[in-house]
Chain A
């Protein structure tokens, strides 16, 4: 008998992200669809960043989990479009990030393609502050545009002096 897709979503919500295990794959928003194609369960996954090494591990973890739940006939599909965005991070996921010590994305601050505004932004206009996930201070500074994974940037809190990762708006 086929289990409902709701049940499958529930199982998927129990799989931790391999690099940020405090988030589940459903918190991260990378599972785009779950459906039955006759007897085959089809799970559609989108990559976060093109080269994120976690993508292969995520696929393996999904397969392992679903097989352990008794799903033998299974197909994983990759969907590129629409591209993954941090807008899909659940509210719950954002709070989990903060509690884990990673500042969640500040919405509306992703890099734009348009030239007008880039120089102004590089000069610091329209700068946004990232609150320290430990002490809550907004007196923080960016150390590097990349952190421990492609999805993060490195920051430092000037109040409590702790370094921290910022999950970039993408």
Chain B
């Protein structure tokens, strides 16, 4: 497509590919985690809601990974990228691969990511790459709705019963050290920002904090007093959880290569 930033593109293709994998894998791994709830949620309505959110996320992953495959130009499409890479080739943030825990922990993880995805997609709408801007405009509407839902439930459960409050505080304490990775810029981010293709993630932190502070305050939850951040997911250094997740997600294509239905 002639109107995309390709001729004289200041970002090397491998940088753009890496960055697109981060978007696609973050949506894919979170989508798979959320889909694990299907048939197991506390009530039917929440089961349906979680399944629908997983669908949105997997749909977003397909858009990002299809574009990643196109940019890579080696004949790999969304399916090869999703099903035929091993853990060290995945570029999702560590927060997304954390196990679901209880319903409250799943909702807290969702909220912490939604509050990041909303300003990121808003900023990406003005990317100089039309393909990125189009996916972001599509995704922005969906993640804004997800954030309304996850924020609402974090508030209701945080400011709920003593038991629900305790569980939400424990979830927040357990997940907090995985949030810093979303804002840790590296050379890929710097190149993307320099070229006007994507915002520097560090610049999104204030917007994220604004949402998180307001919602946690309303939820009567206490933000952990630590800046320590686990890093490495976007560079392929993952926790042990990702391998187990992939073993399930990729089983069919590994056992029956090329299977379709």
Chain A positions near chain B (C-beta within 8 angstroms): 47, 49-53, 80-85, 110-113, 115, 118-119, 121-122, 143-150, 154, 168, 170
Point out the residues of chain A lying under 8 angstroms from B121, CB to CB: 113
Contact with A along B211-223 (1 / 0, CB 8 A): 1001100100000
Secondary structure at the A interface, as helix, strand, loop or mixed, is loop
Contact B62 A50 (CB under 8 A): yes
Contact A49 B119 (CB under 8 A): no
Binds A, one of B129-137, B192-200, B225-233: B129-137
Chain B residue with Cβ nearest A147: B48
* Cβ distance A105 to chain B, nearest Cβ, rounded Å: 13
Chain B positions near chain A (C-beta within 8 angstroms): 31, 45-46, 48-49, 52-60, 62-63, 118-119, 121-122, 130, 133-135, 137-142, 144-145, 147-149, 151-152, 155, 207, 210-211, 214-215, 218
Contact B215 A113 (CB under 8 A): no
Contact A115 B211 (CB under 8 A): yes
Contact A143 B218 (CB under 8 A): no
A148-B142 Cα distance, complex, nearest whole Å: 17
Contact B48 A148 (CB under 8 A): yes
Contact B56 A115 (CB under 8 A): no
* Cβ distance B116 to chain A, nearest Cβ, rounded Å: 12
Point out the residues of chain B lying under 8 angstroms from A143, CB to CB: 45
Point out the residues of chain A lying under 8 angstroms from B147, CB to CB: 111, 118
A119-B211 Cα distance, complex, nearest whole Å: 9
Point out the residues of chain A lying under 8 angstroms from B118, CB to CB: 113
Chain B residue with Cβ nearest A168: B145
Q: List 11 A-B contacts (CB under 8 A).
A: A47-B59, A51-B56, A83-B134, A83-B137, A85-B141, A113-B144, A118-B151, A144-B45, A154-B45, A170-B141, A170-B145
11 more contacts with CB within 8 A, not counting A81-B133, A118-B148, are: A49-B55, A50-B59, A53-B55, A83-B138, A110-B144, A111-B144, A113-B144, A143-B45, A144-B46, A168-B145, A170-B145
